[in-house]
Structure 1
Amino acid sequence: MTMKWLTILQFLEIVAAYGIVTLFLPWLVLRKRFRRFSAAEQLTGYFFAGNFYIIYLVYLLQFLHISNRVTLTAGTVGPFLLVWIWKRRSKIPGVIEWVLENVERLLSGERGKKTSLVQLRGTIYRRFFRGKRKQWLNVLLELAVMGAAIAAITYVYGPNMIEAYGYKASDIPVHNYWINELDRNNIWVAGVYPYGFHIVIYYLHMVFGIKTYVLLRIFGVVQTYFVYLAMVVALKMVCKGRFTPYLGVLFYVMDIFNRNTYARFEGALPQEFSMIFILTSVCMAIRFFQEFAKEQKAEENEKKELDQNCRWYLIQFAIGFSLTLTIHFYSTMIAGLFCIGVAVGFCFRFARWKYFRRIMATGILSVLLSVLPMAAGVAMGKGLQGSLYWGLSVINGGKDDETEATDSLVENTELSTISESEGTENRDGGSTVSASQVEALKKAAEEKLAEQAKEQQKPLKERLKEKFAAVRSSIRVNVMNVKPYIVEITLGSIVLLAALGSLMVLLREIDFAGVIFSTAFYLLCMCCLQCASLLHLPALMDPNRCSIFLCYSVCFSWTLGADAIVHLLIRWWKKRWVSNVASILTLVIAVSAVISNGLLRKPIVVDALEDNGAIACVTNILKENRNFTWTICSADDELRMTEFYGYHYETITFLRELQDLEKNPEIIMPTQNVYFFVEKIPIDYAGSTNHKEVTVEGAEAPLPSAGGIEPYFAENRWYTMCHIYYWTQKFKELYPDEMEVYYETDSFICYRVQQNVNSPYNFAIDYGYNNPTPKAGSEEE
């Protein structure tokens, strides 16, 4: 089976496994309780319940140090099975008797196979189709539209999944390490961190037996489907039309956004996974405001049911909002901004104590739910993980890595220029600042102050105009694919939404007006966050990350605006079918316009940080060998992928040992099979190697001396691969029968050495470049 077909089957397996635990099992238990809510609300409720349950189940078992396949499976199936049996306890004997009786009659020949099939078909028809023809036609139409949306998402994100097999983000190996440590019940091995994503991957690995490296290769595309689904479901909760919510998918697959706003969707990353819960959780808060208003006006006999509905919406909001913080704190910031938008849009209700106290209590509860496990980790003596400190520094006005590096480069350049021109050496070897330097610095400071004073003297209108132009330019360059009209549409849509909301107020559609105002303010906040430094506002996150969330917000806002316009045009027709026809016509027209104008995004291409041949070899090695009967000698890419199944010897460690054969006369890997991974054309990892093939010139150069993973970055990776390539050639020359080619492509080759574990080979040989002399003028010299 080729890797492409294997990847497709693994993708379907992961979708099925994740769908079972987050949708199917919750549906089995909760469908009767959720029956009175809309399909979108039910779907969201099941999804929240499933994710929340498995995450906190793993937390509990990890704290008790008993998390394994048996306890996880029992903790998952046991409660669901008990609830299912308890609800049907009175019917089970009769059902068993009916089944046994029919089986007996079938086996004894009293009833033929055709009669049984006819009876079964009749039962299915009575239960699902009789009297529901109109309903099923609507469902089929919905499924057709949904299928088209899935096809569009697959077209954009699917091909790359089956073309590039390796991890597609540099920090995935770190997440792989954290997930592996969960296997050892060692949660928070690197410090306390939102572990929701890691727990989901770990859970799927343990319960369904899917290897972690397979999940991390593919789950990025799986979660992307759910990110799109979450947008559609959230829009269905607040939109008037039945099919206009699918416009969100269309807008999000149009070629109008920069590549950096969607390229990360190819990687299995916590931030993108957490996006599933942003819109869905906040829309539950919106539904609370709408439903609670009905309760205040309802009759006494209706108040009880409406009160139950309100409580349900608050519970769902609490679960969804807590999941954002459980998975990634950046998504909590975005959800928080949307909550502020909801407070503004529904200010006429939010400001009332009966609304305020319930929504605030729910918000506090949701934060406590997510913080409690992490607080327990801190109480157990675990410190915070490093990226949390970094995130807090950015929120407090610090700079992200990219900005800090740029500023440092500029500052060092300026200081070196001054030092070269006028600086003097003190007796300790440091430079002193001369009087002329002090004067130059004073002059620069005075010029800056004068420029600021001049700026303040400008008329307010002119300053606002300049600021707006700067914001527009920043969004255009960083987010909108340098298409100016998209920026104007985005900023103009804020005004349009505000106007539509005002019009809805005049038409006494207060609930819908609140949604529109909330979305308008939310989009305004997102645009301000994207350009926070230009507006002298706190930069809660760096612009690159913010652009990902901004595009998601833009698509949601545009769809809601389109839905409001369609609703205005047909609101005088009271029949439901008119609304359905109008919404689907709008969708068809929009799709036709996008396709005819070539605005559909081309399939995304994201290079993997590992050669396809390496993944193919790992897959075959795991399949063909018993655990811990083999060793892979490669770069660090395969270390965390295979640590539970075999041994790993890092390439740079091996090569450095070969540099001193007197100190290391024997290098032995005592397993039945030893595999050497060599990139004939080293991949571009954290920098360009210009796709150069390995050559003698690279082997003649010294090995990279840097530590960590630096030997596999950029040009260093080329030197490393040149050395290991010529070592394999020499070893094959010495042992032609023992050193065989296991797998080879144009860019990659894997050699296998089969050996007797009681008499293993000594890999410490002189391959001609063990300790090359640095060339004259080189950095090492």
Structure 2
Amino acid sequence: MTVHTILQAVCLFIIYTVLTVVLPELVFHQKYKGRRTGERLMLDITVSNFYIMNLVFILQLLHISSIYTLLIFTVMPVFAVIIIQYRKAFKAWGIRQLALLGKISSKTMGIKTFFAIVFTRIKDILCNACKNIFHIIGRHKTEYVLFTLLSVWLLYIYGSNEIIQYGYTVSDLPVHNYWINEMSKNNIFAAGVYPFGFHCIIYYIHTVFHIDTYVILRLFSVVQTFYLHLVLFTFIRSICRSSFAAYGGLFLYLVPSLYHGNCTIRFISALPQEYGMLFILPCIYFLFAFFKDMKENAGKWIICTDLAAACACFSMTIAVHFYDTMIAGLFCAAIVIGFCMRFFRPRYFLRLMGAVLLAVVIGVLPMFTAALCGKPMQGSIGWGINILTGRSSSGTNQNQDSNENKANTSSSGSSQIALPDTTKEEVTPEPENLAQDIDTEPVLTPSVSTLEKTTHFLQHFYQTLSNDIQEDIFAQDGALFAAVILSLCALIVLAGIGMCIAKQPDYGFIQISTGIFLLFLLILFNAKNIGLPQLMDQNRSRIYLTYMLTVLYALVLDLPAGIVLYSCKKPRAANGISLILSGIICAAACMVFPIRSHILAPRVSVLETNGAITCLGQILSEHRNTTFTVVSANDELQMLAGRGQHYETITFLRYLKYAAQGQRIIIPTKYVYFYIEKIPLDYTVSYADSGQSISRTGAAKTLPSSAGINPYKGENRWIVMSKMYYWAEQFRKLFPQDMTVYYEDDEFICYRLIQNESSPFSLSIDYNYNQ
């Protein structure tokens, strides 16, 4: 199964790379002339994701989405653009082939000679391509070696979990699986209007390439995380003056254990928020490029491309996750400050405001259209709307008001609240006391100056930030790291001002904008402690903060190179200094901090055993129709959607418990598979005896009566699995030829019942634990 999982992940990586890099490069190769490799990569990712997302949105809202419509609207535009762009080359190639065929038909050339010419030309094309690749690698050997090593390390850190723990490890994934399954029925926004950009990408891959949705959701995190870090590296490499600052920054993020594990653990799961991060930095880079190209009058096509790419990226943050839009918006606000010398000029301002308006319209339009068609808002999006309208001040307490209203409302719909008597009694002072009051000098409260208030606020901000950084980001010395981060932000801003004075405004404005953005992120992270609305929970904001700190580290490492390039304009010397400084800093970090190991999801968050996933793969490979049923906990319900029947374990046990004597309980499919965990999972809720094996003690306990998925959590799951195991063993004793063990390992066992569909077995038996 490990080898199979690796092959599936490699296949997903190839598919995603072809869709998001290769195809756009083929289509827009001529349009990208003059742009650097990093810019081309970000353009490819932007164009492909934007097209796929909006294609799926349009087809879903029209209820005509299928493999045929998706292929038609994917392949036809690609071929049309390629033929138009390369029509002269195709025409010349066609003429040559017709000439060769004419020689064959006139018997002046033999078939062997014809194929020899064809193979020779193919060989020449491949040889020239290899020479060009080796020539490029030869010019940047050190960079490619560093890039390869960091890529391997990245895959080791974030990819190990997928080959060690096969099941879902985040409770959101079964919900996303359900939503994507509903898209196969052209029922987008099945649970209400919600940003569905991520779901559109997964649905597209599932539909076009016939890969099960649960397989994509299990393994797509490796692909997603690789490209997320690739975009981070490309962004830094594109804005820095030296070649090696990006490697130093990424090394500090990936190799030494600088941060708490929870700052990066979400990267081991395929989630919308992390996928939306893919578009934040490209949006910012193309805004930087827009300011630069506008100043240099680079040409209408280049300027329009910059602005259109930034617009598309911002719209995709809206379409994927609201948090990503907030971070992109903060960076844009920092750009307004950093580029204020240009931003407010009409030729810049009008174009940018038009792009922002267009981005918001494009991002919101699919959701707005669905809402107009009668789709309700999904529950979690209500908080985002309240934030925008100013009706909510805390992300963690978003339902507090409604809960309190419900608590204060009686069953009749009215409420009686006894308020304390706040009426003050009028007190008549005694004459002597009155005289004393008149003679006593009033006590004056000294006024606090604005400077003192500011000082107190900054001290409070620094203290609370230090505490939160130590608790949530850095494992130790919170005060030291808070001081270091604030100092680096100030250093970058001052360096940017210096670059502007030295007539290097483009680089200087980028430094100022980045430093201010990091300060904004620190304020967002610490908002609750300084009396500001908490727009984002610290568990989420720290993910963005640690990710973006990589840009700060790289810009600091790039400072000496920028100074050298300004003073003597020697790129090789600048790159050498950057390499040496990055090497020293990275080596020191590895000496002070431990080296990171691969990230594994804690057992409490694992939602399925490896045996269950392995067994499911075997079942689906053996059965191509719906002639089987799986009796298990809830997760297989969505994994089997459209492929087989599902019956919940708790429902089955409740039928056994409450069935009248002689009542038949049947499952009318030829094959019935019973999933049982011998060592039940915690399923997000740990308890005192977590990790214990099923036993008769557990089977003797009362069957949980709670609703929803609560019977599958914590100790309840142990009871349910214990009862299920002893029922299966008792049934196997009664029908040993028909009920057999299909799969078993140390933690999981699956029984298979083969029966006649016309006369299925009655599963209602007394197994001594029906209570």
TM-score (norm 1): 0.87
What is the SS of the residue equivalent to 1:174?
Answer: helix
Three-state SS of the structure 2 residue aligned to 1:477 is helix
Read off the aligned partner of 1:32 and give its amino acid letter.
Answer: Q
SS in 1 for 2:530: coil
Please say if 1:311 is aligned against 2:312.
no
1:377 aligns with 2:370: yes
- Cross-structure match for 2:5: 7
Matching of residue 520 in structure 1 with residue 515 in structure 2: yes
Pair 1:257-2:259 in alignment: yes
Alpha-carbon distance in 2 for matches of 1:220, 1:358:
36
Q: Which moved more, 1:193-202 or 1:683-692?
A: 683-692
Change in CA separation of 1:29 and 1:585 when aligned onto 2, cut-off 3 Å: same
Residues 424-476 of structure 1: per-residue CA shift (max 9 Å, x gap): xxxxxx9989999x99xxxxxxxxxxxxx999799433453233212221122
- Letter aligned with residue 581 of structure 1: G
Once the two structures are overlaid, the 10-residue window that deviates more, 526-535 or 96-105, is: 96-105
Which whole-Å deviations, capped at 9, do the CAs of 1:145-197 have from their partners, x for residues lacking one?
22112112012112111000111110111110110010000111111111000
Task: For 1:58 and 1:468, locate their aligned partners in 2 and report how far apart those are by CA, in whole Å.
Answer: 47
CA distance in 2, matches of 1:463, 1:315: 41
Higher mean C-alpha deviation, range 527-536 or range 140-149: 140-149
Q: 2-side partners of 1:580 and 1:664: how far apart?
A: 83
Deviation at 1:88, TM superposition (A): 2.8
Matched-pair identity in %: 36
Give the letter for the 1:698 counterpart.
G
What is the CA distance between 1:644 and its match in structure 2?
0.9
Counterpart among 564, 568, 571 of residue 563 in structure 2: 568
Contact 1:54–1:200 under 8 Å retained in 2: yes
Quick one: structure 1 residues 83 and 116, their matched pair in 2 at CA, closer, same or farther if it must change by over 3 Å? closer
Rounded Cα–Cα distance in structure 2 between residues aligned with 1:112 and 1:554: 57
Structure 2 CA distance, aligned partners of 1:111 and 1:71?
A: 39
Paired residue for 1:48? 46
Q: Are the counterparts in 2 of residues 393 and 399 from structure 1 also a CA contact under 8 Å?
A: no
User: Are the counterparts in 2 of residues 129 and 136 from structure 1 also a CA contact under 8 Å?
Assistant: no
Q: 1:343 to 1:284 in 2, by over 3 A?
A: same
In 2, Cα distance between the equivalents of 1:431 and 1:392? 30
The corresponding residue for 2:704 is 704
RMSD: 3.0
Aligned to 2:753: 753
Choose from 312, 319, 340 the match for 1:347: 340
Q: Structure 1: which amino acid aligns with 2:206?
A: H
| Mapping of residues 182-581 of structure 1, within 5 Å | 182-253=183-254, 254-295=256-297, 305-393=298-386, 396-401=391-396, 459-460=452-453, 461-484=455-478, 485-581=480-576
Question: What residue is the counterpart of 1:442 in the other structure?
Answer: none
Which SS does the other structure have where 2:659 is aligned? Answer: coil
Indicate conservation of the 8 Å contact 1:681/1:694, yes or no.
yes
Partner of 1:681: 679
Alpha-carbon spacing, 1:522–1:700, altered in 2? closer, same or farther (3 Å): same
Structure 1 SS opposite 2:529: coil
**Cα drift, residue 597 of structure 1:** 4.6
- Quote the Cα distance in structure 1 between the aligned partners of 2:403 and 2:365: 39
Query: Does residue 165 of structure 1 match 2:173?
Result: no
8 Å contact kept, 1:480–1:487: no
Q: Secondary structure in 1 aligned to 2:481?
A: helix
Q: Give a deviation string over 1:637-681, Cα, whole Å, max 9, x none.
A: 110000110000000000000112217811111112111000111
Q: Which residue of 2 aligns with 1:727?
A: 727
Give the deviation of 1:606 after TM superposition: 0.6
2: CA distance, partners of 1:499 / 1:567: 14
TM-superposed CA distance for 1:591, in Å, is 4.2
Question: 2: distance between equivalents of 1:352 and 1:116?
Answer: 58
TM-superposed deviation, 1:405: 8.7
Amino acid at match of 2:705: S
Pick closer, same or farther for the CA change 1:402–1:557 going to 2, 3 Å. same
SS in 2 for 1:166: coil
Partner of residue 418, structure 1:
none
Task: Report the CA distance shift for 1:682/1:133 in structure 2 as closer, same or farther (over 3 A).
Answer: closer
Displacement after TM superposition at 1:102 (Å): 6.9
| Corresponding residue of 1:713 | 713
Look up the SS of the partner of 1:692 in the other structure: coil
**Conservation of the 8 A alpha-carbon contact between 2:564 and 2:574:** no
**Residues 1:768 and 1:61: Cα distance change in structure 2 (over 3 Å):** same
Q: Report what 2:434 is aligned to.
A: none
- Work out the CA distance in 1 between the residues paired with 2:214 and 2:387: 31
How far off is 1:600 after superposition? Answer: 2.9
Between the aligned partners of 1:338 and 1:592, the Cα distance in structure 2 is 31
d(CA) in 1 for partners of 2:125, 2:694: 68
Describe the shift of the 1:456–1:717 C-alpha distance in structure 2 as closer, same or farther (beyond 3 A). farther
Q: Secondary structure at the match of 2:608?
A: coil
Tell me the amino acid that sits aligned with residue 317 of structure 2.
T
SS of 1:752's equivalent?
Answer: strand
CA contact (8 A) 2:248 2:583 kept: no
What displacement does 1:75 show?
1.0
Q: 2:627 aligns with which of 623, 629, 636?
A: 629
Answer with 350-359 or 68-77: which moved more: 350-359
Between the aligned partners of 2:402 and 2:557, the Cα distance in structure 1 is 43
CA distance, structure 1, for counterparts of residue 556 and residue 703 of structure 2: 59
Is the deviation greater in 726-735 or in 662-671?
A: 662-671
Relative to the length of structure 2, the TM-score reads 0.88
SS in 1 for 2:749: strand
Provide closer, same or farther for how the CA distance between residues 637 and 526 of structure 1 changes in structure 2, counting only shifts above 3 A.
Answer: same
Q: Which 10-residue stretch deviates more, 50-59 or 306-315?
A: 306-315
Matched, 1:29 2:27: yes
Taking structure 1 as reference, are residues 688 and 487 closer, same or farther at Cα in structure 2, changes over 3 Å only? Answer: same
Matched-pair contact (CA < 8 Å) for 2:672–2:752: yes
Structure 2: which amino acid aligns with 1:609? L
Q: Deviations over 1:85-121 (max 9, x none)?
A: 23333333442454577796996444896x8766655
Residue 207 of structure 1 deviates from its aligned partner by 0.7
Structure 2 SS opposite 1:533: helix
C-alpha separation in 1, matches of 2:323 and 2:613: 32
Matched position secondary structure for 2:191: coil
1:408 Cα deviation (Å)? 9.8
- State the one-letter code of the partner of 1:490: I
* Counterpart secondary structure, 1:203: helix
Aligned equivalents of 1:406, 1:483: Cα separation in 2: 38
Whether 1:644 and 2:642 are equivalent positions in the alignment is: yes
Q: 1:205 to 1:407 in 2, by over 3 A?
A: closer
Which residue matches 1:422?
Answer: none
Paired letter, 2:513? S
CA shift for structure 1 position 711: 0.7
Amino acid at match of 2:757: V
1:390 shift after superposition = 2.9
Indicate conservation of the 8 Å contact 2:496/2:511, yes or no.
yes
Change (3 A) 1:101 1:167: farther
Decide whether the 8 Å contact of 2:259 with 2:474 is kept in 1: yes
**Contact 1:475–1:531 (Cα < 8 Å) also in 2:** no
CA deviation digits over 1:698-744, x for unaligned, max 9? 11111111111111112211111111111112111212222211111
Q: Cα gap change, 1:642/1:456 in structure 2, threshold over 3 Å: closer, same or farther?
A: farther
Counterpart Cα distance in 2 of 1:406 and 1:718: 36
